[in-house]
Amino acid sequence: MSESNIKSNPGPLSGVKVVDLTRALAGPICTMILTDMGAETIKVEEPRGGDGGCADQLSVSAEPQPFNRNKKSITLNLRTDKAREILHRLIKWGDVLVENYRPGFMKRIGFDYPVVRDINPHIIMTSISGYGQTGPYARRAAFEPVGQAMGGLMAVTGPADMPPMDAGAAVADISTGVFGALGTLLALYHQQSTGLGQHVDASLVESIVFLMGMNLSLYNVGQDPGKGGLFSPTRTPGGGIFKTKDGVYIIIMAQSDQHWPIIARIIGRENLAVDPDYKIRRDRSNHGVEINSMMEAWVRSHAIDEVESIMDEAGIPFGRVQTLEDMLKDPHLKARGRFQDFDFQGKTLPMIAPYPVLSATPGSIRTLWPAIGQHNEEIYHNLLGFSLEELAVFKSEGVI
Whether residues 245 and 204 fall in one domain: no
Q: Examine the domain organization and report whether 383 and 300 are in the same domain.
A: no
The letter for the amino acid at 168 is G
Position 392 confidence tier, pLDDT thresholds 50, 70, 90: very high
With respect to residue 273, please indicate whether it lies within any of the assigned structural domains: yes
- Same domain, yes or no: 57 and 158: yes
Which one from 173, 305, 341, 343 is the annotated catalytic residue? 173
How many domains in the chain?
2
Residue 233 has pLDDT above 80, yes or no: yes
CA distance 387 to 391: 6
Taking only the tens place, the pLDDT of each residue in 46-98 is 997 433 333 344 455 668 999 999 999 999 999 999 999 999 999 999 999 99
Looking at the structure, tell me whether residues 174 and 319 fall in a common domain. Answer: no
For residue range 20-47, list pLDDT tens digits in order. Answer: 999 999 999 999 999 999 999 999 999 9
Domain assignment of residue 342, yes or no: no
Can you give the residue range of the structural domain that contains 372? 3-211+358-396
- Same domain for 185 and 148: yes
Mean of pLDDT values over 111-136: 98
Q: 97-108: buried (b, 16+ CB within 10 Å) or exposed (e) per residue?
A: bbbbbebebbee
Q: Is 246 a known active-site residue?
A: no
Q: Would you say residue 334 lies in a domain? A: no
Burial of 118 (0-12, 13-18, 19+ CB in 10 A): exposed
Using DSSP, state whether 23 is helix, strand or coil. coil
Single out the residue of 33, 25, 96 nearest to residue 70, CA to CA: 33
Amino acid at 12: P
Instruction: Kindly report the CATH number assigned to the domain that includes residue 290.
Output: 3.30.1540.10
101 plus 168 within the same structural domain = yes
pLDDT at 212 over 70: yes
Q: Is residue 306 part of a domain?
A: yes
Burial 329-348 (b: 16+ CB within 10 A, else e): eeeeeeeeebebeeeeeeee
Same domain, 182 and 127: yes
Would residue 311 count as lying in a domain?
yes
CB atoms within 10 A of CB 226: 11
Q: Are residues 266 and 376 in the same domain?
A: no
Same domain assignment for residues 40 and 183: yes
Q: What is the CATH number of the domain that holds 65?
A: 3.40.50.10540
Residues 107 and 154 in one domain: yes
Instruction: Tell me: do 297 and 195 sit in the same domain.
Output: no
Strands (DSSP E) found in the chain: 17-21, 40-45, 72-75, 96-99, 124-129, 199-203, 239-243, 249-253, 318-320, 339-344, 347-352
Point out the domain boundary residue: 326, 348, 367. Answer: 326
Q: For residue 348, is it within any domain?
A: no
